[in-house]
Amino acid sequence: MKLSDNLKTIRKENNLSQEQLAEKLGVSRQAVSKWESDQSYPEMEKVLLICKLFNYNIDELMNESVKDLNETKQVKSNLNKYIDDFFSFITKTVEMLSSMKFKEKLKCIFEQIVVFVSLLIIFTIIWAILEGILGNLLIGNVSRYYVVRDVCFGIYYILALIVGVAIFLHIFKIRYLDYYEIVKDDNPLVNSKNEEETEDGKILENKKEKKFIEKKKEKIIIRDPNHSEMRFLNGIIKFLIWCIKALAIYFGIFFACTFIGLAMMLVLSFMFVKTGLVFFGTLLSILSGLAINYVILHILYNFIVNKKSKKNVFAIIFIVSLLIAGVGIGLACVGMTDFNYIEDAYKVEDVYTTEMIEGLKIETAYYRAIVRHVETNSDEIKIVVNHSKYDKIDFVKVSPNHIAIHWDNNAGEMENIRDIIKDINNKEIKIQDRSLPEIEIRTSKSNFDKIQKASIW
């Protein structure tokens, strides 16, 4: 590296023009220009002055690259700074803890535990979300999923550890190390042995003064009043309150839906007005349920919008509603004793007749039915379906040798509802057999064996 290049680098790094450098060295601008263009060489006196002004030695200026040398110095300086900062952090932490009282130490430790647990929860939630995303991306490939998950977990664990430690130490620094100062009273004790030996009163007075000054010498932690010890905890508490409020909104939606459902039941209950005590007890129970739902919704709303609730009024309404609900359920149970329980199978029989064809297949659709064989001497095949009157049965001939049995078990729901309302008002409860349809295949044993091999049921 030439001296000319070093001079140009030094001038630019120090933000100097050729005129400003010439002024510092006591030469003309043209002289500096000739040095940098390697047209002339500075006198030894000027070389020594350059070394003194910019903190270089002659060997560095003449033989080494100033640019590379500065970069090396900067790296060493940064490394030394990081090391010094690390030891300064440890020293300051030890000094702070040693100057704290036992109660203050407990508060500090408690805050650090809260920070640690909070970070652990946050990083765990983040990983759970990432793991779910990986599961959706690699669904159907279990072996690849576990390999990718383990690799991602290793990378995430290292990153989370580095970021978590950095956040933890940063919070500790801004919460404590940046806001404390050790104060010492360096005033000497003005205490004369002659005074202690001559006058008892002065001896006592000096002892009091000594104790007072010794107390002043104790280490005291001075905290910034704008950063009280509970400020960070208050932030965490606010975050937790927001989470609880979000949960309250979720439950509020649930109880709002329940409130609407109870209101609908209140209207529908008047369809059973002829049931006497059952109707009256059900009505009381629904009204009490509406009142309890109203109280819960009101409390949740006040909590979400930070309004005070009338606790005494709500407590009274809640207790009274529970009592009314108990009375209503009791009355409904008493009224149920007047009901008659009737077994009603509502059986219906559908029959389909066909001839035996080679490879005949019978298929039961929608869900599996109970299939029985009733042996006969006839080669003719009868398919008999026993079912509830609310099921609609269809025999579909898909092809000459393929018969499908379709049914809809919701075909008579409205009729069923009307019958139930009518029965309840008549104080009757009919036990309906809504079991699987029973299919009987009435044919010879040989025909049934052939059908069974080809059929789906």
Mean pLDDT of 391-408: 83
- Per DSSP bridges, beta strands 370-375 and 438-443 are parallel
290 within a domain of the structure (yes/no): yes
Element counts in the chain: helices (H) and strands (E): 15, 9
Give pLDDT tens digits for 263-282.
999 998 898 888 888 899 99
Please name the residue that has the structure tokens 């059900």.
Answer: 282
Q: How far apart are CA 362 and CA 98, in angstroms?
A: 89
Mean pLDDT of 159-164: 88
Mean pLDDT of 41-46: 82
Mean pLDDT of 33-61: 80
Residue 434's pLDDT is what?
A: 55
Give yes or no for a contact between 35 and 41, defined as CB atoms under 8 angstroms apart.
Answer: yes
205 within a domain of the structure (yes/no): no
* The pLDDT of residue 320 is above 90: yes
* The pLDDT of residue 224 is above 50: no
Q: Which amino acid is at 313?
A: V
Selected residue with higher pLDDT from 423 and 121 = 121
Give me 213's structure tokens.
Answer: 């000054």
Cα separations in angstroms, 40 against 3, 10, 37: 11, 18, 8
Domain, as residue range, for 376 = 343-454
| Helices (H), ranges, 100-218 | 102-137, 142-175, 193-198, 200-217
Count of domains observed in the chain: 4
Are residue 355 and residue 443 in the same domain, yes or no?
A: yes
Cα separations in angstroms, 430 against 181, 424, 426, 436: 85, 9, 11, 18
253 within a domain of the structure (yes/no): yes
247 within a domain of the structure (yes/no): yes
Torsions phi, psi of 439, nearest 5?
Answer: -110, 125
- Going by C-alpha positions, the residue among 440, 442, 448, 437 that lies closest to residue 369 is 437
Selected residue with higher pLDDT from 145 and 164 = 164
Are residue 263 and residue 319 in the same domain, yes or no?
A: yes
Mean pLDDT of all residues in the chain? 77
Q: How far apart are CA 318 and CA 326, in angstroms?
A: 12
Are residue 247 and residue 322 in the same domain, yes or no?
A: yes
Are residue 358 and residue 323 in the same domain, yes or no?
A: no
213 within a domain of the structure (yes/no): no
Torsions phi, psi of 357, nearest 5?
Answer: -125, 145
Stated pTM of the model: 0.41
Torsions phi, psi of 181, nearest 5?
Answer: -150, 135
Selected residue with higher pLDDT from 212 and 268 = 268
Domain boundary among 338, 358, 386: 338
Place 235 in a pLDDT band, splitting at 50, 70 and 90: low
Q: How far apart are CA 176 and CA 170, in angstroms?
A: 10
* The pLDDT of residue 256 is above 90: yes
Give yes or no for a contact between 388 and 432, defined as CB atoms under 8 angstroms apart.
Answer: yes
191 within a domain of the structure (yes/no): no
Are residue 162 and residue 116 in the same domain, yes or no?
A: yes
- Rg (C-alpha) for the chain, rounded Å, is 47
Are residue 290 and residue 370 in the same domain, yes or no?
A: no
Place 212 in a pLDDT band, splitting at 50, 70 and 90: very low
Give pLDDT tens digits for 410-437.
656 677 778 778 888 888 877 665 566 7
Are residue 268 and residue 325 in the same domain, yes or no?
A: yes
Place 73 in a pLDDT band, splitting at 50, 70 and 90: low
User: What H or E segment, with its residue span, contains residue 374?
Assistant: strand 370-375
| C-alpha 226, offset from chain centre | 31
Report how far apart the first and last C-alpha atoms of the chain are (Å, whole number). Answer: 94
Query: Of 39-53, 77-91, 196-210, 338-352, where does the model show the most confidence?
Result: 39-53
- Going by C-alpha positions, the residue among 357, 350, 322 that lies closest to residue 439 is 350
